[in-house]
Chain A
Amino acid sequence: MELQLSRVDYTVVGVANKNCVRLLTGSTPKEPQKVAIADSEGILQVFSVKKDDIQIHFKTLPGPKISSLKISGTTGSSHDKVFIAAGNEVKGYTKKGKLFLVFDSGMTENIHSMCVLGNELFLCGKHVYNHFRDCKDVGSYLCGDIIVDVIAFYMVKTRRLTSLIACEGRMIRVLEHARVTASMEVESSPTVLHVYEDDDSKTVLFGTIDGKIGILDVEGLQGFRRWLISNEKNVGPILCIDSYDMTGNGAKNLILGRQDGNIEIYYVNVHDNMDSTCLIFVESCNESIVSLQCGIVAGQGYDEVLAVTYSGRVFGLTTQVTDANFDGSTGSYVFSNDTSMKISKLKADVEELQTKINKERERYQNSTLSNSFMDLSAISLIPVNYTLILDRKTATYVLILEVPTPIDNILIECNLKVKLLDVEKNTAVISYSETEQSGKNSQLLATYRCQVNTNCIELKIQTTEGEKGILQAYVSPVLQPKCSRILQFDLKALSLHYRVNEYDDTNRPYSDLKLTGTFSLAEIHNWIGQCLPEVPEKPQINDGQLFFQSSLVDTVLICAYKKGEAEFKSDNITTLCILKEILSIEATKKKTKIDISLNLNDDCIDHVLKIIEPKLFEHQTCLRDRELNQALNELDIAEEENVKYLSERYRALLLKNKELEEHFRKYPDYLERIYSSIIDLYISYNKLKGIQAGRHKINQIRINLENNYSYHNIISIFKPEIID
């Protein structure tokens, strides 16, 4: 780590969202800046920090949830106007707190994201994009996808005003005059956009849900250029980005806030892809960082990162070295004056609140004792921040749950057979409960009892494809009066598939499944949505084609559909078999008559086996290596003398100990999953041919897989006729 920063806590606000904090530009550089912050209770406040103490300049009354906060000013003057978006209104405040603008956008949706650039205002709802100039509507665009973020800037060369919207369906669209000029496909869902400005160039960066940062070529309209930060260790989604010179060497660093609570600072070079990115600072705060900006907040001349967490904690990571308040003579700490003032003030605050709470608690208790039937216990919904993402590398789901107050326990219930995997940094004690075996009951019941002060918890879930189901999480915080919030997650039948924009098409043989009947486009779109994840809410207007890839075996699925007709092409027969079953169930539910025709291509079997093979070998070798490694360790290898007698391969193996353990920690049961995907292939192959797969044959495949795998052996079981 090249950078040393220390954390300073400032204050707490209500539950916070993305884009909720900005720094006002100061009159002179290096002068402490004011902080504008908005929360979901609708309170906007502007404060500055003096001598470790918060001075609030103004604070609005609670109102509807504020979804975005931006700072702007007329060109030339300093950026000191605060704009907030709440509901479908935009309000503007001066730095003194004077309301100078109330603008009703007239949009049908609530404003989700906002961008202010001089007198240009860009507002986005879930699907609508609107461009206003001087509060006059100059254009709008309706997007089939969900819009997650919007930015706007003037192109360097052409000086044209360009805006970008990031859409959940792995697409970033470039708009000029509210018309899409380019659609840029990216590999995984973008979460946030950022313009990295240096000298005289502007580079558009985007963060993704699986924790990567990519560079877009907007000037040349070339689309995705390269990954700036790839995500090797799989840390959580990127929630906010800022660029600022933290090291003081003239080059801007990239500062990221992630959902897993990490704030990371990187040294980057966006222009030269040979100059590799390097991490210079990381701080973990166990709560997702929803917004951050760099600037000067507390100490004059000291750069710092101001960050806000989901629960509304506002803190800074400052370059200022806080004084050592260590008293050498007594061997204990003495608080500096400023800090002890701050602490005693906080203590008084807490005490005051405590007495207030006690009164309220008593009142609440009394109401539960009364016999009046009119009284109700209404506790407002506990906000829970959650994400469920598929980790493609290991083909497992990662579920992140976060509550703005410590969690007591979480109950996980699922009507499918899914497996919960151990997450190392998760300290909660897991306990499985026995489930009733019969009927449609819960197949999984588990509780996580969290250790003290756990606001955020990460779970890993391993699913198998074949059936769809619902995973329910009951989240109970410690907070009184005790409540439990239920969250539901759909697990699709083809849960291990993910959407792709393009796939490697070379030499794939395809089998296809054709569906005809009296269904509408919306219906078939809905049915596909029941089978596969990441299907957009509404059918895409033009193409009507979706591509998917399996994270476990890398096979592809192509869905092409329109009213009354759908065609599914895949190189994996199991995928088609599952699809066929689910689609017929859905159609029967709707009482729609459909015809299904299937065209089996026998080459698919060979092809799938061939693509699984390398994975199979890799994992089998690992397993064997681990066994050997354990055996070698039994030898008294500590003596150098003995090591000399070992062959080169064994000596290398001895050193690989940690790697192997890491591998098995990362891919638990992976080999078993590969085996079952081959067995499933056999079962579905036979099923589609109308034959019940024999138990004996299945055992035979298993034995062959485990003991002496060869392509020939397996294929001969699949296609006995070849041998004859």
Chain B
Amino acid sequence: MEKQVRPVFTLELGHKILPGLVTIGKYDGTHPCLTAATNTDKVLIHSPHRKNTSSVGKIIQSESNKEIAILNINQAITALVTGLLIPNEDKDILIIGTPTNLLVYHVHDNKDIFYKECEDGVRSVTIGTFKNFKTPVVLVGGNSSIHGYDHKGNDVFWVAIGDMITSMILMDYDKDDTNELIVSSEDYNIRILKGDKIVTEHNETEVVSGLIALPDQKFAYSVSNGTVGVYEKDIRLWRVKSKNFAVAMHEYDLLGQSSTQLITGWSNGKVDCRIMKSGEVLFKDSMCAGVAGIVEGDYRSMGKTDLICVSTEGEVRGYTTTKTMTGGNSSVEQNTIENLLSQKQALLMELKHYENNVKYNSNASNETESYEASGVIPSNTRLQVVVSTSNGEKGQKPRIELYICTNNSTIIKAVIIFAEGIFKDESHVIHPETSKLSSDMLIPLYLPRDNPVDIHLKALIGYPSSIQFHVFEVTKQLPCFSMYAIKDALDAANKPKGHVQFRINERLQRICMWINQNFIFPTEIEVESEPNLVVNIQCLRDNTDLIMEFEISGKVTLFTDNMFLAADLIQSLSGYLKLENLESKASFVQEESNLKHLMQKLSDIQEARLKLDTDVADRLGQIRNLIIRAEDSRINDVKEMMDHYHELNKVNKELINGYNIKTQNYNEGIETMKKINNIIQKASRLRVGQNSAVMINHCRNAIKNNNIEGLIRIIRTGEL
């Protein structure tokens, strides 16, 4: 059971706060101010320690509450971060992101440090030292790429990610005294970047929504399906899933232990405190509304920071390190006893089962009741599970097939498969009609993505009339490239045109091992007498072909029109062979023409945007004119006033139309940009290590100069 910690202060902000957009900053260098985004597109700064209240510039002082100041943004706020940015200054800078702009604002001096239009949008922001930059940089994660700015607003860094960036943190991941960037994006990935180079990738089952850095090379992540977990280096220490999702995470020593604990704020208002290493819950509290954010700051001027939780309804609770628990003095002993009793109970129950089993067996011949009803099965009942691929005969969709059967007359009443990321929810149930119960079952599976998946199968075994079933549990790992089936040799004419070529110095035997580990083939691939190893494969998702040619000389060619697949294969292979670097030559005609097309489209969109902007300016002028004239005629000629207002209405409608077009244009722009970045990102994954980083660098330059031909050349060769 949980220990008890009571809040040391509570207050009401009186505003509704958007989840995830809460931060705290020392804008004058000493006093922390809680800063949050409200649901009315405003930034609220709560400064309980300020002496003189003066409203100057952007900040508007609230009338009802002297401690609260409001900053009007008038655009949806997507990111809110504070941090030290300007060298040699101890005042925190507030960074506000909107879907199109980035505002870096000096609250204390009330001045904009810079205001930038970000074409790629702003989805998440972090601040800190990174790479070899001497001063802190602002890293802005957009819809498909990350941009870095220095304190003057100069663009100093760029990397393509390929999907919307949901969260970023800077931390020393490999203990080399420089920060690495950990990025989570909407394609379910967590990537760790060292400069331009991707060091590690973790794949989760849903969109990763939040990351926080923890000490000792650990970081915590939260997933939009309600999972929270902790990684230590490459290893996931633990994860838990609940039906609510985690909005905010923070590390804080709440319970006065020598190390900090992970504090999580949930969408249903629950706040819990967990041991970082195991995820065990030590403390729980609940706020009246969903948690919006958790921050840490010396809010009581005690010289010690407190943990501050903010709810979406504007309720603020402060907690502090509490050693002495209030209330429930004997709770520790009581808990120990309760736990032990629970254990004892479970053991007694299990023992009873075994005893009854023995009794039943010794007395089996005398049992009059039908043993089928009570779920008694022969003790040597076994469950067999076979995984295979099917090309989809008889009009069925190509798929993976899971065949399970028992070894006697028992039937399979139902099968529950728990797996993440391959079903709509986390489980899939097969419950045959009573008339169709049998001792074997074929379960089709369809994996949407190329990732290894663990499936936990629970089969209910018994007889049709049983009221209790034995549960057989089997765990299987489906390899990364499960959705690919081997194919007979195909004619040269149909060979896919796209290909990627590279050299590896590795025996073919090891490559065979890689293939056998990562594909489901009916028989293991072996090196035959032929000098080269050629594998013909069919993708079960779209029936396209993949040919892998491994020559004895070390030359490898992968023929496929799917560049993404080629990239995945290269990453998997190089990971298996532990390659540091890999250089490759690629030719994906389709992607190249796609890219050309997209680049063209993007510049069209940008042009159109300019035109639309001038249109809006035009209409605004018209409107101003019309209002003045209409109000003029109110005095002189009422009839004319009506005409003017009618006209105004018309212009207004046009303006709204124009706005709609603009939004569409904007969305299209975002979408195009995302596709381009996605291609670049995948192309970089055709290379490994330094080569990949170099390529990204070249791409940045090519895009800056709008050099389409150059970009394509880079994708082909990795060099400019």
A residues neighboring B (CB under 8 Å): 6-9, 11-12, 311-313, 322-326, 331, 333, 335-336, 339, 342-343, 346-347, 349-350, 353-354, 356-357, 360-361, 363-364, 367-382, 404-406, 409, 411, 413, 422, 427-434, 439-442, 445-447, 449, 451, 453, 474, 476, 478-486, 633-636, 638-641
Contacts and interface: CB of A to CB of B under 8 A. Distances in A.
B470 A482 contact: yes
B351 A360 contact: yes
Contact of A347 (B340, B351, B374, B429): B340
Given A331-B256, A339-B337, A381-B467, 6 more contacts: A357-B354, A371-B380, A379-B470, A431-B425, A479-B346, A636-B40
Contacts of B423: 431, 433
A145 to B, nearest CB: 26
Contact of A356 (B241, B330, B351, B433): B351
B428 interface: yes
B357 A427 contact: no
A431 B456 CA distance: 15
Top-6 shortest CB links A-B: A431-B425, A482-B471, A378-B360, A322-B330, A360-B354, A433-B429
B347 A376 contact: no
26 contacts: A6-B330, A313-B341, A323-B330, A325-B332, A350-B347, A353-B351, A361-B354, A375-B379, A378-B356, A378-B371, A379-B375, A379-B376, A381-B374, A381-B468, A382-B468, A406-B346, A429-B243, A432-B424, A434-B424, A447-B429, A479-B346, A479-B353, A483-B468, A483-B469, A633-B16, A638-B14
A377 B351 contact: no
Contacts, number: 245
A146 B245 CA distance: 46
B631 to A, nearest CB: 23
B89 interface: no
B352 interface: yes
B15 interface: yes
Given A346-B337, A357-B350, A381-B468, A453 B342 contact: yes
Interface of B: 14-16, 38-40, 42, 62-64, 226, 241-243, 256, 323-324, 328-330, 332-334, 336-338, 340-357, 360-361, 364, 371, 374-382, 413-414, 416, 418, 423-429, 431, 433, 458, 460, 466-473
Given A347-B340, A372-B380, A404-B345, A324 B40 contact: no
Nearest to B408: A373
Nearest to A636: B40
B333 A335 contact: yes
Contacts of A447: 416, 418, 427, 429
A353 to B, nearest CB: 4
Contact of B346 (A356, A405, A446): A405
B334 A377 contact: no
A323 B242 contact: no
Nearest to A487: B467
A364 B349 contact: no
Nearest to B60: A639
A22 B452 CA distance: 58
Contact of A325 (B42, B333, B344, B471): B333
Contact of B345 (A12, A324, A480, A639): A12
B431 A413 contact: yes
A480 B350 contact: yes
B414 A411 contact: yes
Contacts of B350: 357, 360, 479-480
A334 to B, nearest CB: 10
Nearest to A328: B324
Contacts of A311: 345
A419 to B, nearest CB: 15
A429 B226 CA distance: 9
Contacts of A322: 329-330, 334
Nearest to A363: B354
A361 B354 CA distance: 8
Interface centre among A363, A431, A476 (most CB of B within 10 A): A431
Given A372-B380, A375-B378, A11 B242 contact: no
Given A360-B351, A369-B380, A377-B378, A9 B425 contact: no
B378 A373 contact: yes
B243 A428 contact: yes
Contacts of A381: 374-375, 467-468
A376 B468 contact: no
A658 B97 CA distance: 31
Contacts of A429: 226, 241-243, 426
Contacts of A478: 346
B661 to A, nearest CB: 25
B655 to A, nearest CB: 21
Contacts of B470: 377, 379, 481-484
A29 B377 CA distance: 56
Contact of B356 (A363, A379, A411): A379
B429 A342 contact: no
Contacts of B471: 476, 482-484
Contacts of B377: 376-377
B345 A405 contact: yes
Given A447-B427, A451-B242, A482-B470, A346 B351 contact: no
Given A11-B341, A342-B337, A433-B427, A376 B361 contact: yes
Contact of A353 (B330, B344, B364): B344
A484 B469 contact: yes
A639 B63 contact: yes
Nearest to A8: B334
A374 B40 contact: no
Given A381-B467, A484-B469, A9 B338 contact: yes
A506 B323 CA distance: 67
A634 B346 contact: no
Contacts of A335: 332-333, 336
Contacts of B472: 482
B15 A481 contact: no
A324 B458 CA distance: 47
A549 to B, nearest CB: 34
Contacts of A422: 243
A411 B378 contact: no
Contacts of A451: 242
Contacts of B63: 639-641
Nearest to B415: A411
Contacts of A371: 380
A372 B241 CA distance: 43
B426 A449 contact: yes
B345 A331 contact: no
A350 B414 contact: no
A197 B219 CA distance: 63
Given A350-B340, A378-B371, A339 B431 contact: no
A458 to B, nearest CB: 14
Given A379-B353, A640-B63, A640-B64, A445 B429 contact: yes
Contacts of A350: 340, 343-344, 347
B64 A639 contact: yes
Contacts of B360: 376, 378
A665 to B, nearest CB: 12
A343 B64 contact: no
B333 A377 contact: no
A648 B355 CA distance: 72
A218 to B, nearest CB: 41
A250 to B, nearest CB: 29
A446 B243 CA distance: 14
A342 B416 CA distance: 42
Contact of B357 (A313, A342, A378, A479): A378
Given A447-B427, A480-B350, A411 B341 contact: no
Nearest to A343: B336
Nearest to B314: A638
A449 B380 contact: no
Contacts of A356: 351
Nearest to A415: B433
A346 B361 CA distance: 32
A367 B379 contact: yes
